[in-house]
């Protein structure tokens, strides 16, 4: 039996108790990744294309209710990229 595929990482968490459904995050996302149905006060905005988020933080910055938390993926927090191999040697 093969291992289950990992779930898609959700790049932002929206606190339903704080969100006032203003749609600013939907409006400002430079990748147009966030969607919220106009005038729907029941549902929260959702990230339609989570894999395309580049963690710019604009949605969090503009949120008037401080409802958004950016959830950085593990590989961004503990980056294992060998930068010297990738970009060339360090010149002193």
Integer Cα distance of 66 and 25 in angstroms: 11
State how far the alpha carbon of 12 is from the alpha carbons of 4, 31, 43, 68, 91, in Å: 23, 14, 16, 6, 38
Beta strands in 1-92 (DSSP E): 12-14, 34-35, 46-47, 68-70
Residues of this chain that interact with ligand SF4 (CB under 6 A) are 11-12, 14, 19-25, 29-31, 33-34, 45, 47, 53-59, 62-63, 65, 67-68, 70
Integer Cα distance of 79 and 3 in angstroms: 24
Cβ proximity to ligand SF4, 17 vs 88, nearer residue: 17
- The distance of closest approach from Cβ of residue 88 to ligand SF4 in the complex, given in angstroms and rounded to an integer, is 29
- The distance of closest approach from Cβ of residue 64 to ligand SF4 in the complex, given in angstroms and rounded to an integer, is 6
Cβ proximity to ligand SF4, 51 vs 82, nearer residue: 51
Cβ proximity to ligand SF4, 41 vs 89, nearer residue: 41
Cβ proximity to ligand SF4, 77 vs 91, nearer residue: 77
């Amino acid at each position: 039996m093969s291992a289950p595929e990992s779930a898609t990482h959700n790049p932002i968490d929206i606190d339903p108790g704080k969100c006032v459904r203003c749609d600013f995050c939907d409006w400002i996302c430079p990748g147009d990744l966030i969607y919220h149905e106009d005038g729907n006060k029941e549902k929260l905005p959702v990230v339609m294309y989570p894999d395309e988020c580049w963690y710019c933080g604009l949605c969090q910055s503009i949120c008037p209710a401080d409802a958004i938390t950016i959830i950085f993926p593990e590989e961004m927090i503990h980056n294992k990229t060998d930068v010297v191999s990738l970009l060339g040697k360090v010149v002193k």
